[in-house]
Chain A
């Protein structure tokens, strides 16, 4: 109990005395996870939409696989990306291990299946409703998929946020491929892990509170947008 109170005190001091180091850590967290979620959306959304509207052999298998990949352990993703990007690995010549780019790649791998699987579900539900109407208006599959993405955009926003939340909160993958280098690849979650291992639990928890607050603010923002949009577009 006492240490929880201390943690809130530490969180408050962190926010009140927002220094450069913290700003950099928070900034990098946002930069990496937002970039990852944007790329994952650009890859995952078309995949989800394609599976939703197309009928092909192995479709059911693919859906099962995607749903399973939603539970990918971050450490495993981190390890695989590490082995790929390591100098001794196939992509070693890129020299991007222990850079933010490597962290973006790992998080993208982690959340693309989430965005693909969840958007598939939403778009497929919408497709049942829209199918005949869109075909009657002359929409081909590709047009239909685009229309469905646009028309379910507010629900999809929730998915994108879920992806962002997962990316921003994970530590296993970015720790391995980023190396938690001070000032270069240190993000909020790896800082929390570091402070925990230094035994500074209040500071670690304080950072955790800052992280959660950030995610809450983003989600609240999205909820407001969604609410306004629903009132406007029905």
Chain B
């Protein structure tokens, strides 16, 4: 699948330019964090990459994909994941069955990932009655179960308490360790520091910086990044 190349990517809604001519090359391996203030266009950029939105201009190229199979090798976890009105287990099996897995295969795989995210004991409970943190873990399990090469995560810990955030970050690291490429957005510097290997810093629809994590925090090139780092409350 990887590397992922963005060529002069733009996205406009009416007269409003949300993404303005972003070009980048995202390699396999390092955890990529798309960072930027609220409204910078992070979520839209991610949706463009995942194929949920069509770019107004420019191209998205998965260099390692064979003809048109790129959809099968990526998954996404949303800021507010939609839980289907069925059990936790059935939620995980849903994507697997759509991917053409048999029922028994799906169930085995689904139980495995539920085990890893610590929800095995809730497998038969209705997804919608789980807590916010549990739902987000279930969403991760549902995406991970598909065995994607690339996993997109859109602000995966927004609205969660610190303990749940910790759980989610551990799971993200486990998924990374299993060899899946992580691409996530956050507006939280602390999370970027904890989870990121490289940073794509977006401001006002433009890509301002694409640098390894250490360099980003020590020597930000753009004034926007510098002020964003300064403006954030340090212990967050």
* Interface contact B98-A138, CB-CB below 8 Å: yes
Question: Which of chain A's residues have a CB closer than 8 A to the CB of B85?
Answer: 150-151, 153, 233-234
* Interface contact B78-A138, CB-CB below 8 Å: no
The bracket for how many chain A residues form the interface is 10 to 19
A130 to B71, CA, bound (A): 18
A129 interface residue, CB < 8 Å from B? Answer: yes
Choose the segment among B121-129, B177-185, B187-195, B204-212 that binds chain A (4+ C-beta atoms closer than 8 Å): B121-129
B62 interface residue, CB < 8 Å from A? Answer: no
Question: Which of chain A's residues have a CB closer than 8 A to the CB of B78?
Answer: 132-133, 136
B99 interface residue, CB < 8 Å from A? Answer: yes
Report which of A133, A150, A232, A234 forms a contact with B82, defined as CB distance below 8 A: A133
A129 to B86, CA, bound (A): 16
* Interface contact A234-B129, CB-CB below 8 Å: yes
Question: Which of chain A's residues have a CB closer than 8 A to the CB of B142?
Answer: 137
Interface string of B64-86 (1 = CB under 8 A from A): 00000001100110100111111
Which partner residue on chain A sits nearest B71 by CB separation? A138
Contact flag A233-B95 (CB < 8 Å), given A132-B52, A135-B52, A138-B71? no
**26 A-B interface contacts by CB (under 8 A):** A130-B82, A132-B47, A132-B78, A133-B78, A133-B81, A134-B82, A135-B52, A136-B75, A136-B76, A136-B78, A137-B75, A137-B98, A137-B142, A138-B72, A138-B98, A138-B146, A139-B98, A151-B84, A153-B85, A232-B126, A232-B129, A233-B86, A233-B126, A233-B128, A234-B128, A234-B129
Query: Residues of A at under 8 Å CB distance from B?
Result: 129-130, 132-139, 143, 147, 150-151, 153, 232-234
